[in-house]
Amino acid sequence: MKRWRTDRATGSLVAATLALLFLDLSPHKAQAETRAPAASFSRPGLDRIGDYVRNEVVTGKIPGAVLLIQQHGKPVYLESFGVRSVATKQRMTPDTIFQIYSMSKAISSVAAMMLVDDGKLSLDDSVSKYIPAFADAKVGVDLSDEAGEPPLKLEPLRRPITIRDLLRHTSGITYGFFGETAVRKRYANPDLYNGDFDNAEFADRIARLPLADQPGTRWDYGHSTDVLGRVVEVASGQTLFQFEKQRLFDPLVMPDTGFYVPKAKWPRLAEPLPRDRFGERIHFGRRIAGITTPTLPRRWESGGAGMVGTVQDYARFLQMLLNGGALEGRRYLKSETVASMTSDQVGPETGILLDPFYFPGPTSGFGLGFAVRNQAPPGTSWPLGEYRWDGAGGSFFFVAPGEDMFVVFMVQAPSEGGRIQLALKTLIYEAMGRGSRKP
48/132 same-domain check: no
Would the pLDDT of 336 be above 50? yes
**Phi, psi for residue 66 in degrees, rounded to 5:** -130, 135
- Is position 28 within any domain? yes
Task: Encode pLDDT of 98-114 as tens digits.
Answer: 999 999 999 999 999 99
Q: Is residue 55 part of a domain?
A: yes
pTM of the complete model: 0.89
Over residues 112-126, the mean pLDDT reads 98
Residues 228 and 191 in one domain: yes
Q: Which of 5, 56, 40, 16 is nearest to 432 (CA)?
A: 40
DSSP annotation of 213 reads S
Residue 41, number of CB atoms within 10 A of its CB: 19
Domain-terminating residue out of 216, 236, 256: 236
**Domain stop point among 175, 206, 236:** 236
pLDDT in tens, 257-291: 999 999 999 999 999 999 886 543 434 333 566 77
Answer yes or no: do 45 and 7 share one domain: yes
Q: Are residues 190 and 134 in the same domain?
A: yes
Q: Which of 358, 364, 359 is nearest to 386 (CA)?
A: 364
Query: Do both 155 and 203 map to the same domain?
Result: yes
| pLDDT surpassing 70 at residue 439 | no
Residue 423 banded pLDDT, cuts 50, 70, 90: very high
DSSP H/E element including 49: helix 43-58
Q: What is the pLDDT of residues 48-87, one digit of tens each?
A: 999 999 999 999 999 999 999 999 999 999 999 999 999 9
Greatest pairwise CA separation for the chain in angstroms? 69
User: How high is the pLDDT of residue 28?
Assistant: 38
Residue 150, Cβ neighbours under 10 Å: how many? 13
Give the whole-angstrom CA distance, residue 261 versus residue 399: 27
Same domain flag for 152 and 77: no
Residues 127 and 219 in one domain: yes
Give residue 176's pLDDT: 87
Same domain (yes/no): 56, 129: no
Q: How many C-beta atoms lie closer than 10 Å to residue 358's C-beta? A: 18
Is pLDDT of 358 > 70? yes
pLDDT surpasses 50 at 19: no
Average pLDDT of the segment spanning 301-316 = 97
160 and 216 fall within a common domain: yes
With bands split at pLDDT 50, 70 and 90, how would you rate the model's confidence at 5?
A: very low
- Whether the per-residue pLDDT at 20 is higher than 70: the answer is no
Sign of CA dihedral 18, 23, 28, 29: positive
Q: Is the domain of 62 the same as that of 129?
A: no
- Determine contact, residues 81/53, Cβ cutoff 8 Å: yes
Rounded to the nearest integer, the mean pLDDT of the chain is: 88
In a domain, 220, yes or no: yes
The answer to whether position 168 is within a domain reads yes
Q: How many C-beta neighbours within 10 Å does residue 334 have? A: 16
> How far apart are alpha carbons 66 and 7 in whole angstroms?
10
* Last-in-domain residue among 236, 269, 287: 236
* Predicted pLDDT at 241: 98
pLDDT (0 to 100) of residue 436: 57
Percentage of residues of the chain with pLDDT beyond 70: 86
Tell me, yes or no, whether 231 lies in a domain: yes
Phi and psi dihedrals of 303, rounded to 5? -70, -15
Beta bridge partners of 326: 331
Query: Which pLDDT score is estimated for 52?
Result: 98
Select from 348, 343, 342, 349 the least CA-distant residue to 362: 348
Lowest mean pLDDT among 128-132, 199-203, 238-242, 272-276: 272-276
Query: Among candidates 278, 263, 292, 235, which has minimal Cα distance to 393?
Result: 278
C-alpha 270/C-alpha 261 separation (Å) is 11
30 pLDDT more than 50: no
CA distance 277 to 1: 40
Q: Looking at residue 149, which CATH number applies to its domain? A: 1.20.58
Query: pLDDT (tens digit, 9 = 90+) per residue, 363-418?
Result: 999 999 999 999 999 989 999 999 999 999 999 999 999 999 999 999 999 999 88
> How many domains would you assign to the chain?
2
Quick check: is 427 in a domain? Answer: yes
Structural domain contains residue 116: no
Mind giving me the DSSP string for 126-159? BGGGT-GGGGG-EEEEE---SSS---EEEEE-SS
Give the residues across from 399 on adjacent strands. 387, 406
* Pair (77, 29) in one structural domain: yes
Q: What is the DSSP string of 400-439?
A: EGGGTEEEEEEE--TTTHHHHHHHHHHHHHHHTT-SS---
Residue 3 predicted with pLDDT over 60? no
Specify whether the CB–CB gap between 331 and 252 falls below 8 A: no
Domain extent, residue 158, equals 123-236
In a domain, 333, yes or no: no
Query: What is the per-residue pLDDT across 217-244, written as a single tens digit (0 to 9) for each?
Result: 999 999 999 999 999 999 999 999 999 9
Question: Are both 152 and 80 inside the same structural domain?
Answer: no
Look at residue 150 and tell me whether its pLDDT is greater than 80: no
